[in-house]
Amino acid sequence: MQFTRCYMCEAEGTTTEHVPPRALFPEAKDVQGRNYRIDLVTVPSCPLHNTAKSDDDQFLMVSLAGIIGNNSIGYHHRMTKVDRAIRRSSNRLLDKVLVKKSHSLKIDLNNNRFLEVIWGTPDAQRLHRCFNHIVRGLHFHHFAEPLVGEVRPFLGFLFHSDRSARSFSEFIEHRASLDLAEKTRYGKNPDVFFYSVTEPDQFGLYLFHLCFYGGVNVYAAVIPSHSKRPHDIGFELMNRGIKTFLKVEDKSYEIN
Ligand SMILES: [Zn+2]
């Protein structure tokens, strides 16, 4: 029998893992029988990487479904499956999503249904880990080989109270929109999830775009181990807190 390896490590992939997690896709019973689980992407996974992730799957589901800017499917998912999971956990799930809760407000959605919106500091480190796994899974699926190198997810959906971080976020979105224009969108349930990927640039770097519920955008730069990435002076200045201008087309973004 042919040996199938795990998408994350070199162990044998004896189990099947959904990328992104199946929990993000509404169940038919919650959406009047509509099927949003057509041809979900799966990859082989070793038992270790499969179990290690199931806790993260719930975390990701709660983190993404209620985000402002989502389409109605995202909201609906938040009101049904996600809501049940939160209740079952006596709100512990919600506490895990935000490392610091600042305040919450309730939005009246009519028919006596309310959506609780909670502002706070999301667990960005954990979100990064989740998206790292998703990108590695999609890579394995898309290119039929594991990703050897680094993944740098950029979470475009997070709101930054800091002006400089906001400006950087706008820069990334603008730049990515150019790189991704006309690229094929993959995913049989695009209202829930689709992804696209750019060609490698002259240094071998490329970009994955993940879009959830029509409004949550994640951009992940893939830096293969063999890439000859030059030392990026712009980013170096930025990291040192020096005022830097990043330019895309005619627009200039001021950082720091
Ligand atoms: Zn593994």
Task: Give the distance (Å) from ligand 1 centre to CA of residue 49.
Answer: 5
Task: Give the distance (Å) from ligand 1 centre to CA of residue 48.
Answer: 6
Domain positions in the chain are 15-124, 149-255
177-181 contacts, C-beta under 8 A, 24 or more apart: 178/248, 178/249, 179/207, 180/207, 180/209
Mean pLDDT of 232-255: 75
Structure tokens at 89: 């956990």
Task: Give the distance (Å) from ligand 1 centre to CA of residue 50.
Answer: 8
- Between 226 and 189, the more confident residue is 189
**pLDDT beyond 90 at 131:** yes
43-64 pLDDT tens trace:
999 999 987 777 788 888 888 8
Task: Give the distance (Å) from ligand 1 centre to CA of residue 134.
Answer: 14
Task: Give the distance (Å) from ligand 1 centre to CA of residue 53.
Answer: 11
CB 218 within 8 Å of CB 157: yes
- Listed in order, strand segments (DSSP E) in 59-143 are 98-108, 114-122
First to last CA, the chain: 56
- Between 192 and 253, the more confident residue is 192
Using CB atoms within 10 Å of the CB of residue 83, give its burial: 0 to 12 exposed, 13 to 18 middle, 19+ buried. middle
3-state secondary structure of 100: strand
Task: Give the distance (Å) from ligand 1 centre to CA of residue 7.
Answer: 6
H-run or E-run covering 87 = helix 83-88
- Alpha-carbon distance of 125 to 98, in angstroms, equals 11
- Give the number of other Cβ atoms within 10 Å of residue 94's Cβ: 21
> Can you give the pLDDT at residue 235?
66
Task: Give the distance (Å) from ligand 1 centre to CA of residue 159.
Answer: 33
Task: Give the distance (Å) from ligand 1 centre to CA of residue 223.
Answer: 20
Mean pLDDT of 143-155: 91
69-116 pLDDT tens trace:
677 888 788 888 888 888 888 777 777 776 666 555 555 655 555 555
